[in-house]
Structure 1
Amino acid sequence: MARPGTASEWAELARTQNHRLQLLDLFTTAGTITIDMRDDEDRLQREQADHRIWRGGASKSAIKISKLGSTLVSAAWNGPRWWIFDESGDEVTLQVRSIDARSTARGTDRLLAPPILMAMIGLVPFPATAPEDFVGVGDGFRFTLRGIEVGDGGERVFFPGNAEILVRRPLDGPASVRLRDESGAEVAWSELTRVDSVDRIGSPPGAWPRVPHRIEIHRDRGERLVMSLDAPLAGGRISDRLFDLDVQIERSNPVRIDEIRGLEEE
């Protein structure tokens, strides 16, 4: 049975999560990925491949999906915008999107948008003040973040929508995340399991942060993404080129670029 959470419980939970994010500020991992997604004819298709993920700070992340050494999709997020290159065909196409664009929750890239992916993995900060619906459930806690603020200083941006979060063990971070858009419609929900420590350069093993090593993200009508995080590493060097759109355009030379603006510009 749920019980109201206390201010001291929230303060400790937020401190633990935000310290965990600091330790994972520079973070990289690789593994396998299985994507079940509907095609243009509404048929559920499965793709199995390899992935690499980079987190270059609170509002920078990138993912690359490849198969047999060839890149299928690469995407990155840097502050107020993110982008995705489709490199699976003979010609490369690029979509550039504002973080507050409605399309962040929809489209063929809806499971791979880096802002959504980071939220689904549970790499989001907790605010200083407890949410109104903060409750204790068993040994854990449940609450809703209404509007997610990420980044620092001039790089601070707001991720649209609400995240319903379940935490079973504070050191492990969120155990599940249910993301809804501003109308209340469900965007996706995740299950985060096989939590273990992450090697962090410069830190003793007892101070290593913990992350889930299996990520399962669901959408409606059977769409699903399952990822393994194999041998993740924190505290290493990550190239800023991954988060530089001009550099990535020069690398991929897309034949078409589609840009979708944010809500304030529409």
Structure 2
Amino acid sequence: MKLSRMTAYVSSIFLTAAFALTGAGVASAATHAQAAGTDYVALGDSYSSGVGTGTYDSSSGSCKRSPKAYPSLWAASHAPASFAFTACSGATTDDVKANQLAPLNSSTDLVSITIGGNDAGFSDVMTTCVLNSQSTCINRINQARTYADTVLPGKLDSVYDAIRAKAPNAHVVVIGYPHFYKIGGSCFGGLSDTSRAAINGAADELNTVTAKRAADHGYTFASVVPPFTNHEICSSNSWLNSLVWTNIGESYHPTAAGQSGAYLPTFTSAA
């Protein structure tokens, strides 16, 4: 049950005054109390479901929702009033609209989402780059960038509109994608730095398009590029899986450390 507007207002005055007397400890308590009244829904693709962490809820099937994914971690630490986790591995914008929006309603306070990478074909980009020449890799990256510039904006508008229609009062946090590679890092062999830099550039393109569409809908865009810096593939402490031959689906996704060390604090700050 949510607090009335007057009760919430009085509570905020009390907490503000208490903070002035006791400092950050009360601020933390206030944040937790606020979250405790929150109805939270986590939407999106594999970067939200937690693919790459290696631990999944068996009941989620091929969606591979993980207790180590940032939505689960945030819910565990903030104890929201309700938590619905519908993000799914492989999801596109159309999949979100068709399969993930049922928990949303006028009482939903908070929504998180990562989406767009599958629409732009990033999985095929990585497969193409790993298995083919540099020129073939670059060509496929350029195709993805063209899609991100020309087709994806409309796809994002459609899913963002659908979220707002079902959850008109929600604070929506749209989270981006990391750079995959540290250029000039510790990797030997494999892709050239030219290909790696082009892949990072495509991630930037996707983030730029996503951030613009999010802003135009009044949503908050949160970048994970800064916290992943020096934790990319080819760094000495990567928070991203490289190519995992024994479990291809885990490849190029955040590890448990990437979820807890990058996605979780990024979402927490934006929520």
Q: Is the shorter-chain TM-score for this pair beyond 0.5, marking a shared fold? A: no
**TM-score with structure 1 length normalisation?**
0.29
**TM-score with structure 2 length normalisation?**
0.28
Greater Rg, structure 1 or structure 2?
Answer: 2
Structure with more helix by fraction? 2
Structure with more strand by fraction? 1
